[in-house]
Structure 1
Amino acid sequence: MADIRLRIELLGTDPLVWRRVVVPEQINLHRLHELIQDVMGWADCHLYEFECNGRFYGEPDEWSDRPIALARNAKLKAMAARAKEGVFQYIYDFGDGWEHRLVVEETGLEKADPCPRFIDGAMACPPEDIGGIPGYAALKAAATGEQDEHGQYLLESLDGEFDPEALDEAEIADILVPFQAGFRRLGEGACEPRQALPQQSQSLDMEQSLKAQGIHNIEELMETLQEEIDKNR
């Protein structure tokens, strides 16, 4: 199973909020959604949707006015192969309308460990429920001291602190640890030696114990066992 390198861009932000990740090509789109939430900094509390060449993938609901395929049944590998110029879309929170551009930068990468993994990025993710790009612009203005009424309200809701340039790469790496373990690459191949070593050690201990009793082969072992049986009759 090979890997794919993706660049995730939050459209409408200036400076651009973006992340670069490497993911397994067989990841399904629901898991890719969860990964985007983790590396971007979203809280995964709203609906989402992927779009590629007029096809939509997400979590179907009764309010949808178009066919939506189940994201869990679609693989990134197939999406990357169909994406025109290697680009497809991801939208999060239909109210705020956070639109992301996903760029397939490279496919067929040698399988990496651990994976998925964060490579690099820039700028802080906007807070949830602030009114989309206009709210984000107002919040940044207030954070720099501008007298924007809506921005000041949003800033106060964040206890007066928001740094649009903050990006904690170490925190993202920590968040991804359980995600990586879910793909079972961290321990692949390592379980067999750990299981085999105790068995090998037990065999060596048994062999040494028998030799200490003067038993060097299976015939001598059988004779010893028979003697013990005869004694106990």
Structure 2
Amino acid sequence: MPADLNLEKFHLILQVALGWQNAQLFKFIVNKRHYGLVDFEYEDNMINAKNLTIRNIMPVEKQKIVYIYDFVDSWEHEIVLEKIIPNASNYKHILCMDGERACPPENCGGVSGYLEILATLRALVGEQDKEFIMLVNGQNPEVIDLARINRRLKRLKI
């Protein structure tokens, strides 16, 4: 993705990739600094995510940042800049290249709530089914649907 995207737009891309609806607050944490929406008085030390770009906070490969979504469920993600691609702005749209498992549904109660949902579904389906075919939020939680994510990313207006 282009390094000149601001962090608010980066958040919207992450929302699409994770299958969430952008219904909650978010923040990025880099070197103990918090970047998010300053319109809400949730944190006094929040720096406006609209004013910084990916390049500003991740200038080198292998740089790590933390992305937190939904301050109640508190979904915390570590994001690593794997590779800087010269002239990335020449690409027509953003592409999700890989991932593991489907993302939990939004507002499911955080990690503990999601684990409870999975345990309940496992009990209903039974562990004898090797493929563990069950649906959470319209998809198998064990499988990431890259084609679906990339269709949604292609439609995203950034």
TM-score in terms of structure 2 length: 0.82
Correspondence list, 1:201-220, <5 A: none
Name the aligned partner's letter for residue 31 of structure 2.
Answer: N
Question: 2:80 maps to which residue?
Answer: 103
**Does residue 12 of structure 2 align to residue 26 of structure 1?**
no
**Does residue 151 of structure 2 align to residue 177 of structure 1?**
no
Which string of whole-angstrom CA distances, capped at 9 and with x for unpartnered residues, describes residues 107-164 of structure 1?
A: 2434252332111112111011111000111111112117xxxxxxxxxxxxx84231
State which of 11, 18, 32 in structure 2 corresponds to 1:54.
32
TM-score in terms of structure 1 length: 0.57
Question: 1:17 maps to which residue?
Answer: none
Name the aligned partner's letter for residue 146 of structure 2.
Answer: E
Larger RCO (CA within 8 A; separation ≥ 6): 2
CA distance in 2, matches of 1:31, 1:48: 12
**Does residue 111 of structure 2 align to residue 133 of structure 1?**
yes
Identify if the C-alpha distance between structure 1 residues 70 and 86 changes in structure 2 by more than 3 Å, giving closer, same or farther: same
Question: 2:15 maps to which residue?
Answer: 37
Name the aligned partner's letter for residue 3 of structure 2.
Answer: E
Q: Greater strand percent: which structure?
A: 1
Correspondence list, 1:125-164, <5 A: 125-145=103-123, 161-162=135-136, 163-164=140-141
Q: Which has the larger radius of gyration?
A: 1
Which string of whole-angstrom CA distances, capped at 9 and with x for unpartnered residues, describes residues 151-180 of structure 1?
A: xxxxxxxxx84231132221111111133x
- What are the ranges of 5 or more consecutive residues in structure 1 without an aligned counterpart? 1-22, 147-159, 184-233
Root-mean-square deviation (Å): 2.3
- What are the ranges of 5 or more consecutive residues in structure 2 without an aligned counterpart? 125-133
Query: Does the aligned pair in 1 maintain the 2:67–2:76 contact within 8 Å?
Result: yes
Q: Greater helix percent: which structure?
A: 1
Which string of whole-angstrom CA distances, capped at 9 and with x for unpartnered residues, describes residues 175-223 of structure 1?
A: 11133xx46xxxxxxxxxxxxxxxxxxxxxxxxxxxxxxxxxxxxxxxx
Which structure 1 residue ranges, 4+ long, deviate > 6 Å from structure 2? none
How many residues of Structure 1 are paired with residues of Structure 2 in the alignment? 146
Query: Does the aligned pair in 2 maintain the 1:58–1:71 contact within 8 Å?
Result: yes
Alpha-carbon deviation of 1:81?
2.2
Query: Does the aligned pair in 1 maintain the 2:34–2:47 contact within 8 Å?
Result: yes
CA distance in 2, matches of 1:175, 1:30: 17
Name the aligned partner's letter for residue 79 of structure 2.
Answer: L
State which of 66, 71, 84 in structure 2 corresponds to 1:94.
71
Query: Does the aligned pair in 2 maintain the 1:59–1:68 contact within 8 Å?
Result: yes
CA distance in 1, matches of 2:122, 2:20: 23
